[in-house]
Amino acid sequence: MPPPAPSRSAPASLEARALSAWFGRRKVLDRVSLTMPAATVTALIGPSGCGKSTFLRMLNRMHESVPSAKLAGEVLLAGHDIYEPGERVTHTRKRIGMVFQKPNPFPAMSIADNVTAGLKLTGTRVSRSAKADLIERCLSRAGLWDEVKDRLSSPGSALSGGQQQRLCIARSLAVEPEVLLMDEPCSALDPTSTYRIEQTIHELAPEVTIVIVTHNMQQAARVSQQCAFFLASQGTPGVIVESGDTNQIFTNPGDERTADYVNGRFG
Ligand SMILES: Nc1ncnc2c1ncn2[C@@H]1O[C@H](COP(=O)(O)OP(=O)(O)OP(=O)(O)O)[C@@H](O)[C@H]1O
């Protein structure tokens, strides 16, 4: 059994207000607004190139790390704009974690050290005695503890792709984020590993607000409570055509383009 220590952070709401994005002079998103309620899973869906990843990367200030990138608009985390002057990027990234498409554990670092790797980067102090508990708790929350508890000092590279992705989730959880962003976290994984990650998302959802980009419509339907459909038609910047309850988006969407996309008629 994992240690009983509860999560120190509570899930927070996230709200994008009129977010626009540019790469150089090219505008790729136009005034996109979306509320992502606390403790829910929001799936971002839409054809390739419509701006889903760019939108996701603006939610924790990763977009601005691209030299040519610009943005306008606001992102409210629990009501406060993360882009307000004086807001520190490291503080935002601690509160809003990210899991990428390709699992990226530190290959030579042990499984245990991978879990705690983010603590130093974000300036989070944990006593030596609390560290072991934290490692067990995060690996348990990421659904990996039972598979690795007897080999915590093995390198991260010794794990399968799906296990590596769950290790990355554990690493994100170690700094107790209030929101977890996931950019196609299963696209490099086999169906069994995908199923295991989806289970992990289900288990985490009450404790962490999750926003996930996925190309897999079945996955969006399985894991999310809310869905936003992005589209960029004929070279115009991406917009959200429709967002709302996942069940409604899949069974009774309000826009014909949404119906065509979720039914596989394009994209
Ligand atoms: N670093 C970059 N420099 C220049 N243009 C970029 C960069 N990253 C993305 N773009 C462009 O911005 C637009 C949106 O890309 P983005 O990756 O956000 O779309 P997406 O919907 O996530 O696509 P996919 O589903 O294929 O991952 C695309 O036209 C893309 O070519």
Cβ 180 vs Cβ 208: under 8 Å: yes
Residue 243 Cα, ligand 1 centroid: separation in angstroms? 21
Cβ 44 vs Cβ 52: under 8 Å: yes
* Interhelix angle 128-141/191-204, nearest 10 degrees: 120
Task: Tell me if residue 17 falls in helix, strand or coil.
Answer: strand
Task: Tell me if residue 165 falls in helix, strand or coil.
Answer: helix
User: Which residue owns the Cα nearest ligand 1 atom 24?
Assistant: 48
**Beta carbon of 5 within 6 Å of any ligand 1 atom:** no
> Ligand 1, closest atom to CA 26?
5
Select from 20, 52, 231 the residue to mutate for testing ligand 1; criterion: most ligand atoms less than 8 Å from CB.
52
The percentage of residues in the chain with a pLDDT greater than 90, rounded to a whole number, is 87
**Beta carbon of 54 within 6 Å of any ligand 1 atom:** yes
Q: Give the model's pLDDT for residue 156.
A: 94
Cβ 19 vs Cβ 79: under 8 Å: no
Environment class of residue 86 by beta-carbon count within 10 Å: exposed (0-12), middle (13-18) or buried (19+)?
A: exposed
Angle 177-181-4 (CA atoms, 0-180°, nearest 5)?
A: 35
Residue 62 Cα, ligand 1 centroid: separation in angstroms? 13
- Tell me the average pLDDT across 72-79: 97
- Residue 167 in this model has a pLDDT that exceeds 50: yes
- State the chain's mean pLDDT as an integer: 93
User: Which residue owns the Cα nearest ligand 1 atom 9?
Assistant: 54
| Predicted ipTM > 0.90 | yes
Q: Give the model's pLDDT for residue 56.
A: 98
Sign of the torsion angle spanned by Cα atoms 234, 235, 237, 243: positive
Scan for tokens 């498409």, then name that residue.
101
Environment class of residue 1 by beta-carbon count within 10 Å: exposed (0-12), middle (13-18) or buried (19+)?
A: exposed
**Beta carbon of 204 within 6 Å of any ligand 1 atom:** no
Q: Give the model's pLDDT for residue 208.
A: 96
The percentage of residues in the chain with a pLDDT greater than 70, rounded to a whole number, is 97
- Residue 240 in this model has a pLDDT that exceeds 90: yes
